[in-house]
Amino acid sequence: MQLELQVRPFAFDLIRPLRTSAGMTKFRRGWLVRLRADNGRVGWGEAAPLNPSHAKQNEQAIRALPTKLTQRQLEGLLTEQPMPVAFALGAALAELDGIEWLPAPEPAQLLPAGEAMLEQLELLVNQACLDRSLTVKWKVAVEADALERRWLDQLLDQLPSTAQLRLDANGGWNRHTAQAWMEALVGDRRFAWLEQPLPPDDRQGLESLSELGPVALDESLELDPRLRDSWSGWQVRRPSQEGDPRPLLNQFHKGVPRRMVSTAFETGIGRRWLDHLAALQMNGPTPAAPGLAPGWRPEGALFSADPQQVWKAA
């Protein structure tokens, strides 16, 4: 099959900065991909590294791609690309094969770091219907530990008994602190997991902590992708940062357990994939509310479910 490849840059600012122990995310920059086949079908993709320091490498890679090539040639080039570029190309190829897009399930609510979490939580609890559960994720390891422990007590006082709580330290705790938080939470039925509580390279510490309670890996999976096949606990997967999405798509079709998909603040093109994978995961053996960060992206055509509108808006 003969293919024609086009790319177009995009940029947008988040509604509010995302503050984590690893730093601040204020904006997103990347490139949209349109892949047109000689049979008239079109596939779409998005390449946007979450780490701004990787932007130049990704830009060089995507601009070096030929504009006309065969599917076989593109499949060969895909394995040599940075992960976000490989995601864009793999996503476009998968769409050429045909996908019946599924809508996203109800997402988890992302709470801001710091004391602002309490105000946002109160709004969410007041808005939540009495007949449905609420899943919230709080970014921790940002302020002094004693302060965050105090805010945790207030959070638990407000959180409904049917809710679920995820805490994301983005690798910002040491072993002593992580163990203290785990011991404080593990008996609470609302507690879902600690997400990346220790630095990504502390494999031994993470394994020891997981013996005390649920640990979900995130940044560790990026540092050592082999963990995606060996870590038996929860995995927070960011499809747009992992390369070709077709292997993960196949896993979800097979019902692989303890995977939860999470956003890297995509445009509408990348978001279709996140929504689709989240829907498949929700129908699998271990359903979990996806991390779609509602309320953090702007609105507009760039975030439309129609890729033509996204392309025009970029």
- In the prediction, which pLDDT does 108 show? 95
Contacts of 43 (CB under 8 A, 6+ apart): 34, 35, 37, 91, 92, 93, 94, 95, 96
- Do 105 and 275 touch, CB atoms closer than 8 A? no
How far is C-alpha 75 from the geometric centre of its chain's CA atoms? 25
**pLDDT tens by residue, the chain, 314 residues:** 999 999 999 999 999 899 998 888 999 999 999 999 999 999 999 999 999 899 999 999 999 999 999 999 999 999 999 999 999 999 999 999 999 999 999 999 999 999 999 999 888 888 764 446 799 999 999 999 999 999 999 999 999 999 999 999 999 999 999 999 999 999 999 999 999 999 999 999 999 999 999 999 999 999 999 999 999 999 999 999 999 999 999 999 999 999 999 999 999 999 999 999 999 999 999 999 999 999 999 999 999 999 999 999 99
In Å, what is the CA distance from 250 to each residue of 230, 235, 281?
17, 16, 11
pLDDT digits (tens, 9 = 90+) for 252-288: 999 999 999 999 999 999 999 999 999 999 999 999 9
- In the prediction, which pLDDT does 32 show? 98
- Do 158 and 118 touch, CB atoms closer than 8 A? yes
Q: Comparing C-alpha atoms, which of 34, 32, 31 is closest to residue 6?
A: 34
- In the prediction, which pLDDT does 23 show? 86
Say what the pTM is.
0.94
- In the prediction, which pLDDT does 128 show? 61
- In the prediction, which pLDDT does 123 show? 86
- In the prediction, which pLDDT does 124 show? 84
